[in-house]
C-alpha cells in the first residue's frame, strides 16, 4: 500500500525514463540485426526487462552496462536459437504480441506465457492473422489465450485489415512480414503509434506507409544501429496532468518523445485550457523530441472520441483525473479497448475516482465525468495496473489528507522511481 498526501503544487525541471514502446523494439530489432546495437536511455523497467530476458533465452547476448545502457549482439534475422525454456513475458502485452510476430518467422517451436493479467488478455487479434500467414499456433480458446505454442517458418504475405487500431497487432504482422513471401499489408481503422515503421525503415527494411496502410516486404538483413530512447510521454503524462490541476504549479520535462502518434494527450489538454509549450524541438533517430513546459491553468471539460483514441490510449486514466478537476462534463467514448489492457481500465479508474468522491460513471466504451467536486481521502485499488496506480496518485495530490493505493509495486512495470520523482517536485502543503 502506497500512501500519497495532498500537496499545494509541483515545480521544477525533470526527466522521465525512456519510452517503453521504443525500448522494447530496440532490443527486439537489435537482436534481429547483423552486429551490435547500442541503446542509450533504455527503460530499465520490468516490462522491457522481460523482453531482454526472452531474447537472451533465444541465444542473444545482451549486456547492460552501468545499469543503464544496453548492448545487443544481434545475430541477424535467422540467428535466433530455439529457447530451451518457456519464454516469460510477465505483464507485458508488447513483449508477447510482437514476439509472436517474430516467432512466426522462425522454423523452431517456442512457447510463451505471461502473468495472470497477461494470460487473460486477447491474443487472437495476433494469432488469427499470423495463422493466415502460415504460422502454427496452439493455445486455450483457439489460441486466444496464453500460454501459446508457436511454430513458424514458410510464411506468405497477406493483406489484413485490423478490426481495432493496435500498434501491437500491426507490429506483430509487420515483423512476420520480414520473413514472408511477397508483400504484407496492414490496414488500420485509425493510425496507431508508428515506432515499428520508423525504426525498421531506419534499419534498412523495405517498409512504406500510405495514410492508414503499411506495407513491408521480406528482408535479407537489418542494419545494426545506435538508438537513443526519448523520455516516455506516457510517463510524462502524470506530471503534466498534476501540473494542470494544482494551482501555482510549473514544470519542464526534458527530452520527451513527441511523435504525433503519441501526443493526443497534449492536444486534449490544450483544448481543455492547459498551458503547455513544446520547446527545443528536434529529431533523434527519426523520432521528434522536445522539452515540455507546463504552467497551471484552470481546465474546462471536453469530449474525447474517434481517431484520437489510439494517440492517447494509455493516457486515458490520467485524463480522467484531469476531467475530475475540469469545469463541466467530460466524456470519453470509443475506448472499449481499455477493457482489455493490464486491467479493465474503465472499471478500475471509475471505481478508484468514485471512492475518492468524484462524479464519474462507466459507459459501454468509456465514461462520463461531472467535474468540479472536491475529493476526499480513501483507500483505493490499482488492480495491479501501473497506469491506474499512477493516475490515482495524481488525483491524490489534490486531496486534503492521505490516500492509500493498493498493489503499488506494479508501477515498476513502466516507471520505477515514480514516487521519488514526484517527491522531488512536490511543494508541500
Ligand atoms: C503499445 C501499443 C498499445 C499500448 C501499449 C504499448 C506498443 O497497445 O496500449 O501500452 O508498444 O505497441 P495496443 O496495440 O494494444 O493498442
pLDDT at 305 over 90: yes
Q: Which residues pair with 187 in a beta bridge?
A: 161, 213
Once rounded to an integer, what is the mean pLDDT over residues 396-403? Answer: 98
Task: Determine the distance separating the centroid of ligand 1 and the alpha carbon of 305, expressed in angstroms.
Answer: 18
Ramachandran assignment for 280, one of left (phi > 0), alpha (psi -120 to 50 degrees), beta (any other) = left
Express each pLDDT in 145-156 by its tens digit.
999 999 998 999
Please tell me whether residue 234 adopts helix, strand or coil conformation.
Answer: helix
Once rounded to an integer, what is the mean pLDDT over residues 347-371? Answer: 98
Q: Are 30 and 37 in contact (CB under 8 A)?
A: yes
Whose CA is closest to atom 10 on ligand 1? 314
Residue 356: the pLDDT is 98
Q: Which three cell numbers stand for residue 212?
A: 492508414
Give the sheet arrangement for strand 109-113, strand by strand: 87-88, 109-113, 145-151, 136-139
- What's the whole-number average pLDDT of the chain? 97
Q: Which three cell numbers stand for residue 268?
A: 486534449
Ligand 1 atom index nearest CA of 234 = 10
pLDDT at 267 over 70: yes
- Through-space distance between the first and last CA atoms of the chain, rounded to whole angstroms: 22
Once rounded to an integer, what is the mean pLDDT over residues 33-61? Answer: 98
Pick the CATH number of 2-18+230-427 from 3.90.1200.10, 3.65.10.10, 3.40.190.10, 3.50.50.60: 3.65.10.10
Ramachandran assignment for 211, one of left (phi > 0), alpha (psi -120 to 50 degrees), beta (any other) = left
Ligand 1 atom index nearest CA of 164 = 16
Mutation test residue for ligand 1: of 50, 99, 122, 166, the one with most atoms within 8 Å of CB: 166
Mutation test residue for ligand 1: of 91, 94, 338, the one with most atoms within 8 Å of CB: 94
Q: What percent of the chain has pLDDT over 70?
A: 100
314 is catalytic: yes
Once rounded to an integer, what is the mean pLDDT over residues 310-319? Answer: 98
**Cβ neighbours, 10 Å, residue 208:** 14
| Residue boundaries of the structural domains of the chain | 2-18+230-427, 20-228
Task: Determine the distance separating the centroid of ligand 1 and the alpha carbon of 372, expressed in angstroms.
Answer: 31
pLDDT at 429 over 60: no
Whose CA is closest to atom 4 on ligand 1? 314
Residue 68: the pLDDT is 84
Express each pLDDT in 329-350 by its tens digit.
999 999 999 999 999 999 999 9
Whose CA is closest to atom 13 on ligand 1? 166
Task: Determine the distance separating the centroid of ligand 1 and the alpha carbon of 31, expressed in angstroms.
Answer: 21
* Confidence tier at 285 by pLDDT (50, 70, 90): confident
Question: Is the torsion defined by CA of 241, 414, 375, 351 positive or negative?
Answer: positive
Q: Are 57 and 87 in contact (CB under 8 A)?
A: yes
Express each pLDDT in 60-89 by its tens digit.
999 998 888 999 999 999 999 999 999 999
Provide the CATH topology of domain 20-228.
UDP-n-acetylglucosamine1-carboxyvinyl-transferase; Chain (3.65.10)
- Nearest CA to 47 out of 316, 381, 315, 385 is that of 385
Task: Determine the distance separating the centroid of ligand 1 and the alpha carbon of 314, expressed in angstroms.
Answer: 8
pLDDT at 236 over 80: yes
Express each pLDDT in 170-221 by its tens digit.
999 999 999 999 999 999 999 999 999 999 999 999 999 999 999 999 999 9
Task: Considering the candidates 47, 232, 255, 314, report the single residue annotated as catalytic.
Answer: 314
Q: Which residues pair with 110 in a beta bridge?
A: 150
Nearest-angstrom CA–CA distance, 300 and 354:
20
Task: Say which residue, 66 or 56, is predicted with more confidence.
Answer: 56
pLDDT at 8 over 90: yes
Residue 280: the pLDDT is 98
pLDDT at 428 over 90: no
**Which residues line the pocket of ligand 1, CB cutoff 6 A?**
21, 93-94, 166-168, 171, 193, 313-314, 337
Once rounded to an integer, what is the mean pLDDT over residues 94-98? Answer: 98
Question: Is the torsion defined by CA of 155, 156, 161, 165 positive or negative?
Answer: positive
Residue 66: the pLDDT is 83
Common-topology check for domains 2-18+230-427 and 20-228? yes
Amino acid at each position: 500500500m502506497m500512501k500519497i498526501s495532498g500537496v499545494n503544487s509541483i515545480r521544477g525541471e525533470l526527466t522521465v525514463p525512456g519510452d517503453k514502446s521504443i525500448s522494447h523494439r530496440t532490443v527486439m530489432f537489435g537482436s534481429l540485426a547483423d552486429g551490435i546495437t547500442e541503446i542509450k536511455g533504455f527503460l530499465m523497467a520490468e516490462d522491457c526487462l522481460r523482453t531482454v530476458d526472452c531474447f537472451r533465452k533465444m541465444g542473444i547476448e545482451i549486456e547492460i552496462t552501468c545499469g543503464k545502457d544496453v548492448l545487443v549482439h544481434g545475430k541477424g534475422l535467422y540467428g535466433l536459437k530455439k529457447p530451451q525454456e518457456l519464454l516469460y513475458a510477465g505483464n507485458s502485452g508488447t513483449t508477447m504480441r510482437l514476439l509472436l510476430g517474430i516467432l512466426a518467422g522462425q522454423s523452431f517451436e517456442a512457447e510463451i506465457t505471461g502473468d495472470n493479467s497477461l494470460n487473460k488478455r486477447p491474443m487472437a487479434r495476433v494469432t488469427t492473422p499470423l495463422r493466415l500467414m502460415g504460422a502454427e499456433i496452439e493455445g486455450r480458446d483457439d489460441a486466444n489465450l496464453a500460454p501459446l505454442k508457436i511454430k513458424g517458418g514458410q510464411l506468405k504475405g497477406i493483406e489484413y485489415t485490423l478490426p481495432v487500431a493496435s500498434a501491437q497487432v500491426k507490429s506483430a504482422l509487420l515483423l512476420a512480414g520480414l520473413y514472408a513471401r511477397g508483400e504484407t499489408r496492414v490496414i488500420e481503422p485509425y493510425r496507431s503509434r508508428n515506432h515499428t515503421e520508423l525504426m525498421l525503415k531506419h534499419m534498412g527494411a523495405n517498409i512504406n506507409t500510405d495514410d492508414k496502410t503499411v506495407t513491408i516486404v521480406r528482408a535479407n538483413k537489418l542494419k545494426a544501429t545506435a538508438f537513443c530512447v526519448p523520455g516516455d510521454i506516457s510517463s510524462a503524462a502524470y506530471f503534466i496532468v498534476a501540473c494542470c490541476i494544482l494551482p501555482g504549479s510549473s514544470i519542464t520535462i526534458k527530452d520527451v518523445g513527441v511523435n504525433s502518434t503519441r501526443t493526443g494527450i497534449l492536444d486534449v489538454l490544450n483544448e481543455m485550457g492547459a498551458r503547455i509549450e513544446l520547446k527545443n524541438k528536434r529529431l533523434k533517430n527519426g523520432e521528434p523530441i522536445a522539452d515540455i513546459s507546463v504552467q497551471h491553468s484552470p481546465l474546462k471539460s471536453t469530449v474525447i472520441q474517434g481517431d484520437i483514441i489510439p494517440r492517447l490510449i494509455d493516457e486515458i486514466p490520467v485524463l480522467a483525473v484531469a476531467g475530475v478537476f475540469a469545469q463541466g462534463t467530460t466524456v470519453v467514448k470509443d475506448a472499449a479497448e481499455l477493457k482489455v489492457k493490464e486491467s479493465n481500465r474503465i472499471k478500475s479508474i471509475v471505481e478508484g475516482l468514485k471512492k475518492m468522491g468524484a462524479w464519474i460513471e462507466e459507459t459501454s466504451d468509456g465514461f462520463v465525468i461531472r467535474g468540479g467536486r472536491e475529493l476526499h481521502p480513501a483507500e483505493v485499488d490499482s488492480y495491479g495496473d501501473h497506469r491506474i496506480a499512477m493516475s490515482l496518485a495524481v488525483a491524490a495530490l489534490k486531496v486534503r489528507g492521505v490516500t492509500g493505493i493498493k498493489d503499488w509495486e506494479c508501477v515498476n512495470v513502466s516507471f520505477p522511481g515514480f514516487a521519488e520523482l514526484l517527491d522531488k517536485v512536490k511543494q508541500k502543503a
